[in-house]
Structure 1
């Protein structure tokens, strides 16, 4: 009887975590570049009441008798599916049509291993002419340096990440190219808040380093689309369906605890 109560507790904890993840997904339904998450369950090691026996010529075999001990969280996966495109016509709003990530850094010169990755391309030009994100982090080029727009220059960003700057004399400079990072296992990235990711231990193979690539250096990186933003990939219909399922699961597991308690009460009352 105590087993059923503890199984119910584990189920309630699991569905509470699922509701936490669903709530975070729904809260970020309009967050630029947000990637939704999901919770996967796994059963806890079962208690074996009797082992299996093999069949012989004289006696048939029997299966093991096992009692499950509840559920636990198997994984919390980040789904790196592309979000829908929103056209803004703002030249500093960028979207990656592919699997790559923009690279941003805390300093104007940032090594790849110290960079943050993001799919949110709502960039701006600050007072010093630097291309930055909404939090003031520097948008990096393929050399790991900040992209600076001189005063009086008009600029555009091509599909391969090339930043074309036209000065007052009419000369065009195309030395800068946006860095686009390709990660072998995007689910291995760790969320750092502010639409940023850190490269986790399971994001890249052992010995392989993160590199700042140009937009066309790798087919997986994809093309850069100026004047558009990638919106959240949260599917509200699916999230509300999962929320109802989690709510019912939580209620059912609470009923297990209530029923087990009632049965235990009956056992206690047998002495009266």
Structure 2
């Protein structure tokens, strides 16, 4: 009888409409992956039956398979929105401590500095040493940023100066002539930079350079006092060769005493910052016949600072900006891939969890191996083709009507048989 075939067709078409409706409902869901209904025929079999003599008894839903194709990437401008362009899933730790995976990168910061999803799952990544930029752990951990407290101050350790000293400059001491050459003020060739002590207090450091009687040699001073020359670890002079390249005098170590910043401040208070050494690198100094110029002057210390912004690079490195002007890496987003993505279990909230069928996750970082790159300030759209789904819905509707018609026809046949006299 044809009732069985019609009933299975109705059930299969109904489930197909459910899947299509779910796709359409999530056509605007970030990171959503469309599903499709896969059917299989049902056949009544018997041992020893001849080939081709088995009667079909209908259809069944063999699988509902998600399609992990790439969705379009839309620009949002929000720095905490992240899209994966290519392979991989974000790994997140759910509130119950279990791991899940998502393609939705619409992340937020909570009041504790955790990077979270809308369902309060924490984004996983690798911690990074902010001073070296190197990963400091081999396993992903929840990413946390200092939103509640400032980053601590860092004491200056190095100063780098790139400059040109004018090869045409006369001996700074001058001469009686003839013709007479006036003395050159020490301030004519000088610069200064603020360094920071252990408490993040700025301490000015000045450097002055005086041409000596040797045309390729310059004396280094740290004050305008005529009697004090810079204490060098090996030399107090910069010496250049005939081509204007530096041959000696760099680097040297200068001891900075925060208590000497303001000599009129009175006695040094208890527990004041101690004097500290600063290495001054002048290896980029040159002596050419052009005017004195400082092309680069940097130091590596800073005062305390509050978090003001976050940027995410294509390789997942998270660069944080602070109110003290410092930008530094604080972490790197982790990505996961699976041997069989079709085996992942969909648990809602744009999350999947691993199963035996999917295999264990292979962890890595964006742009590493077969992992895709990240796009900050953007989100991956749903991969639902709305036009295709609407056409599929009409087709499924016709299939449902046709299966209902087979039941109606079978009922008419049965009615004819019952009414035979």
User: Which of the five TM-score ranges fits, normalised by the shorter chain?
Assistant: 0.7 to 0.9
CA distance in 2, matches of 1:182, 1:170: 37
Relative distance call for 1:231 and 1:18 in structure 2 (3 A) is: same
Contact 1:131 1:138 in 2 (8 A): yes
Partner deviation per Cα, 1:9-36 (whole Å, 9 max, x = no partner): 0000000000000000000010000000
Contact 1:162 1:178 (8 Å CA) reproduced? yes
Is the contact made by 1:45 and 1:69 (CA closer than 8 Å) also made in structure 2? yes
Distance 1:255 1:145, change over 3 A: same
Structural mapping, 1:35-114, within 5 Å: 35-47=33-45, 51-52=49-50, 64-106=52-94, 114=98
Q: Deviations over 1:205-228 (max 9, x none)?
A: xxxx42431113322x20010010
Give structure 2 stretches of 5+ with no counterpart. 127-138, 148-305
**Larger proportion of strand:** 2
What is aligned with 1:148?
144
Output one character per residue of 1:166-223: Cα deviation in whole Å (capped at 9) or x when no partner. 344444432511011111211111111110111122112xxxx42431113322x200
The within-5 A match list for 1:1-272 is 2=1, 4-47=2-45, 51-52=49-50, 64-106=52-94, 114-142=98-126, 143-151=139-147, 152-153=306-307, 154-204=309-359, 209-219=360-370, 221-271=371-421
> How many residue pairs align between the two structures?
250
Q: 1:27 to 1:9 in 2, by over 3 A?
A: same
Distance across 2 between alignment mates of 1:251 and 1:25: 22
- Evaluate the alpha carbon distance shift between residue 132 and residue 216 of structure 1 in structure 2; reply closer, same or farther with a 3 A threshold: same
Residue aligned with 1:192, SS? strand
- Asked which structure has the greater CA Rg, the reply is 2
Describe the SS at the equivalent of 2:24: helix
CA distance in 2, matches of 1:9, 1:215: 49
What TM-score results when the alignment is normalised by the length of structure 1? 0.86
CA distance in 2, matches of 1:212, 1:125: 23
Paired residue secondary structure (1:117): strand
Q: Give the conservation status (yes or no) of the 8 Å contact 1:48–1:64.
A: no
Cα deviations across residues 38-96 of structure 1 (Å, max 9, x unaligned)? Answer: 001110123569954xxxxxxxxxx6323211111111100001111110111000000
Q: Give the 4+ runs in structure 1 shifted more than 3 A.
A: 46-52, 166-173
Structure 1: how far apart are the matches of 2:339 and 2:109?
31
Offset, 1:107? 5.4
> What root-mean-square deviation, in Å, do the aligned CA atoms of Structure 1 and Structure 2 show?
2.0
Q: Is the 8 A contact 1:95 1:230 kept in 2?
A: yes
> CA contact under 8 A between 1:6 and 1:69: conserved in structure 2?
yes
